[in-house]
């Protein structure tokens, strides 16, 4: 059997290879997770952010168990290199996401880096962070022609409903007294 060719072809293999090896990959992701927990919004390579997303969300799931849980504390201790962030994780981030069951992060692609490498960059953030939102939806001004026509239409509908409702109430009152 010729194993070497099969090893060289990478069709369908989904696991990314970052850094210098598996240990280096985990260290790199650990640094990124620490940065994310500290700053709640970071800019990095898209592949690293995508890889880190899974770990960041799993960490929140562990943190939701509470700091009394031994496994949760060991995880937080491993993944957060700056130990003051363990407190932040259990006391700030876990309560924030108590109501949600998943999808604690948002990953958005941004323009490629200006360097020679033109690397594909992304910004990853924990939802509910205190910064201004990344995507701002602009609605058309109220005073445009179409919006003014629609406003007039809406006001008409409300007016007809308002005139019909007291009539309906009066009619039901009359029937009530008749019975």
Residues that bind another protein (CB under 8 A): 140-141, 143-146, 148-153, 156
Compute the least distance from the CB of residue 166 to another protein, in Å: 22
The label of the residue with tokens 């995507």 reads: 135
What is the helix (H) or strand (E) element at residue 2, kind and residue range?
none
CB atoms within 10 A of CB 12: 5
Compute the least distance from the CB of residue 84 to another protein, in Å: 46
- Give 156 or 167: the residue with its C-beta nearer to another protein: 156
- Give 6 or 146: the residue with its C-beta nearer to another protein: 146
- Give 54 or 157: the residue with its C-beta nearer to another protein: 157
The structure tokens listed for 138 are 């602009």
Residue 70 in 3-state DSSP? helix
The structure tokens listed for 176 are 């009530």
Compute the least distance from the CB of residue 157 to another protein, in Å: 9
Give the dihedral of Cα atoms 104, 29, 79, 128; nearest 10 deg: -20
- Give 101 or 141: the residue with its C-beta nearer to another protein: 141
Going by C-alpha positions, the residue among 58, 19, 32 that lies closest to residue 123 is 32
Compute the least distance from the CB of residue 45 to another protein, in Å: 35
């Amino acid at each position: 059997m010729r194993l070497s060719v099969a090893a060289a072809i990478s069709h369908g293999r989904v696991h990314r290879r970052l850094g210098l090896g598996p240990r280096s990959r985990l260290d790199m992701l650990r640094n990124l997770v620490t940065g994310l927990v500290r700053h709640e919004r970071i800019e990095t390579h898209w592949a690293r952010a995508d890889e880190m997303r899974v770990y960041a969300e799993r960490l929140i799931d562990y943190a939701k168990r509470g700091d009394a849980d031994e496994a949760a504390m060991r995880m937080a201790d491993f993944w957060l290199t700056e130990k003051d962030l363990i407190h932040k994780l259990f006391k700030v981030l876990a309560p924030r996401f108590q109501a949600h069951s998943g999808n604690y992060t948002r990953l958005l692609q941004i323009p490629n880096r200006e360097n020679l490498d033109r690397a594909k960059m992304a910004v990853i953030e924990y939802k509910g962070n205190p910064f201004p939102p990344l995507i701002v939806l602009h609605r058309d001004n109220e005073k445009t022609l179409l919006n003014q026509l629609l406003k007039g239409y809406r006001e008409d509908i409300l007016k007809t409903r308002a005139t019909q409702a007291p009539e309906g109430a009066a009619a039901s009152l009359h029937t009530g007294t008749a019975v």
